[in-house]
Structure 1
Amino acid sequence: MTLKAEACRDSAEFPPFMANHLPMILVALDRLCASAERLDAFAQTYRAEHGLRPQPPAQAPLGVEDWMSARGQRSREADLRAFFSRQVAAHGGAATIAAYLPGLAPGMAGSALHPLMRLAYAVMTEDEAEIGAALGFWAATYLPLDEAGRGPGVTTDPAEVLRRAAVLPGVAEAEPESDLVWHNMRAVAQVPSFAGVADWLIIHDDTLDRMAAASLALYAATMSFEALHAVTGCHWLRLLRPVVADPAPLLRHFWVAIAALMPKMGLPEIPTAAQVAAWRQTPAPDWPAIMAAAAASDDEHDPSLTFSAFEEWRRTGDTLYRVVAAKRVALIA
């Protein structure tokens, strides 16, 4: 059995409700030119440090009529993964995504957006088995934050959504039950004033590009764990574009999740264009050095961020991606 196939068998989370990155990071490391020996070493270290576990025991088969009854139930992970794997085997990955992702989109905050990561990597690598696993992971950890369709849009600027969300009454005082990212999202979403945030952003063809720019600026300003996921998340959304007919629900609910993390980031100010332009001038090593440092790291977020940043840099040419990646892997201060 290959390293990746072995990694894919495990539960999508490990205690306490942390996302298992191993199936995706093995792909990222390969794209960063890591050797087979490095992939094996990373997998052994990751498995030992995090205590990866098997999926919970299957309870009962799920069908087209009743799979939604198991949404949000981590104890049904095996049943949900089996259901979606059967759908992929019968209809193909792209058709299964088209049929079921609209119903899953509102719950994309589950497991701190990592089902989105797993699905995006599965699509990128054309791995049909992983598409089924990712959809099952998404369904098992389904976490809706805010309903859409309750009010008119207010802005086309994703950064403005973050500014407005940060000053909503009660948001700064939200008390999550733990420091887990998705617990923070959920606590903020339960603040009464947060209702309706899903409708604020007016979606256009360039919305994902504007989200990516805002995420990069926010990460450069904070270098925070949460803003890192905004940068990588925009890359994951872009990977899904070929198989998603209408990206608006995904974009909408992704950005609600990022808005819900503003308190955990410390309610940062959105940097100005002048600040961003100045950061772009920061001297940084070239990509081969950054990629080598990321591939050598045992922190899964180093190769994750570096791979996404490199891919977004290739698309945009924005040198700030190289700067933040170099900072992330401690090549520059």
Structure 2
Amino acid sequence: MTDDTSGTLDEALERLHTAGPERRGWLSNHGPMAVEALVRHGQGRSVHRWLDYYRDKLEEMPDARTPITADNWREALGDPRHIADWTVYFGHELADRPWREVLALWWPRLLPGIAGGATHPVIRVGHAVRTLLDAPGTATAPRTAELAHALGYWAARHAPLPPLGRLPGPASGSAADALAAVAPVADQSGGIRDRLPQLTAFPAWPVEQERGATAPDAATAPDAARDRLAQLVRAATHRYLTHGHGEPVMLVHAATAPNAVLRTLPALPRELWAPSLDAAWAASAAVTAAYGPSQPLPRPSAGAALKGAAAAGANVSPEEVIAHAAAHGDEHAIKLTDTALDVARDAVATGEDHETALAAALHACALIDSPLA
């Protein structure tokens, strides 16, 4: 649950909703995602100071053009000129219907364009849904408005990946081996809009023969999809520790995009969980192919990554890690830390390794320049 007894998150969202979801024609507004992560992990006291720094990166919402309707939405899908129109449309939809109904209707429509906007729209949706799930039936106006902004951004930037072939999946069936089998695109000289069209095929994953398992039946398939999605988030987070140097900012999304999907599953009908896993894999693999380096680097420990920590070498706490990210200030470092804390929490619950996830978060802070330094 979010640590928001002061109302800090709602105040921050209200400040941010005067701005559009992008700046300079393409770069994403990360403000709503970063402040949600900070508040959730007990760093609410730093939010308004962080927004004071971040406001110079914000631009006003573009002017509305043509209202989105039940008759013309298909023509407007994927057209960034309609960002404001889409936000208004979802605002009306969420005022008239329960937010879960709106989400369930639009999730399968938007899912094929999960890579649009460099995966930022789906990540923003994941943060918005997480806040609404915190208080069933008592969603505040700013949190509902945030879902409208997030869905509107996704609809405006909806961009399906090119048709992709299926390569043999890893014999182990593991998500980590599947990511390792993703081949980098040939030309890595441009941005993500230049790289994604080069994609041709991904390894098949998940692989049903993993550990000799048979395909799940209809009753258990959604649970299997959720578990495998959690495995993907864990693998992508751990992989950042050894491969994040390939492009420290963009490779954050290989973990945060599937985690946004994982966060959204509890709000969706169970029949949407399996296709959500497939889309999350495509998004994570696409970012990995676009920016992954050819060779890994040695893996630092969490203690080694947190320079100057009294506990250097062992037992770095989640509280230290999020405090470090908040002090660092970069929005991507904050968001990867947020995902890493999810992974570490689940690992502790199952008695597995949680230090690697914490080390990945600290590694992001080391690789990405601090805007507050």
> TM-score category by the smaller chain?
0.7 to 0.9
Q: CA, structure 1 residues 303+213, in 2 after alignment: closer, same or farther (shift >3 Å)?
A: closer
- Equivalent residue for 2:214? none
1:263, 1:108 → 2: CA distance? 15
2:174, 2:282 → 1: CA distance? 13
Q: CA, structure 1 residues 327+146, in 2 after alignment: closer, same or farther (shift >3 Å)?
A: same
The farther-off stretch of 303-312 and 19-28 is 303-312
The answer to whether the Cα contact below 8 Å between 1:119 and 1:135 also exists between their aligned partners in 2 is yes
1:219, 1:175 → 2: CA distance? 18
- Equivalent residue for 1:240? 264
The answer to whether the Cα contact below 8 Å between 2:254 and 2:283 also exists between their aligned partners in 1 is no
- Equivalent residue for 2:233? 212
Q: CA, structure 1 residues 164+296, in 2 after alignment: closer, same or farther (shift >3 Å)?
A: closer
- Equivalent residue for 2:31? 22
Query: How many correspondences in the alignment?
Result: 310
Aligned partner letter, 1:141: R
- Equivalent residue for 2:75? 69
Q: Are 1:40 and 2:48 counterparts?
A: yes
2:39, 2:273 → 1: CA distance? 28
Aligned partner letter, 1:68: R
1:310, 1:99 → 2: CA distance? 30
1:61, 1:7 → 2: CA distance? 23
| Unmatched runs of 5 consecutive residues or more in structure 2 | 1-9, 133-142, 209-223, 305-312, 349-353, 368-373
The answer to whether the Cα contact below 8 Å between 2:176 and 2:232 also exists between their aligned partners in 1 is yes
- Equivalent residue for 2:152? 136
The answer to whether the Cα contact below 8 Å between 2:16 and 2:32 also exists between their aligned partners in 1 is yes
- Equivalent residue for 1:183? 193
- Equivalent residue for 1:172? 185
Describe the SS at the equivalent of 2:182. helix
- In the TM superposition, 1:269-288 aligns within 5 A as 283-284=313-314, 285-288=316-319
1:82, 1:202 → 2: CA distance? 41
| CA shift digits 1:128-152 (9 cap, x unpaired) | 221121111001011111458x879
Deviation at 1:264, TM superposition (A): 1.8
- Equivalent residue for 1:162? 179
Q: Are 1:297 and 2:297 counterparts?
A: no
The farther-off stretch of 94-103 and 121-130 is 121-130
Aligned partner letter, 2:197: A
Describe the SS at the equivalent of 2:65. coil
Please give the TM-score of this superposition, normalised by the length of structure 2.
0.74
2:29, 2:195 → 1: CA distance? 19
Describe the SS at the equivalent of 1:2. helix
Deviation at 1:279, TM superposition (A): 5.4
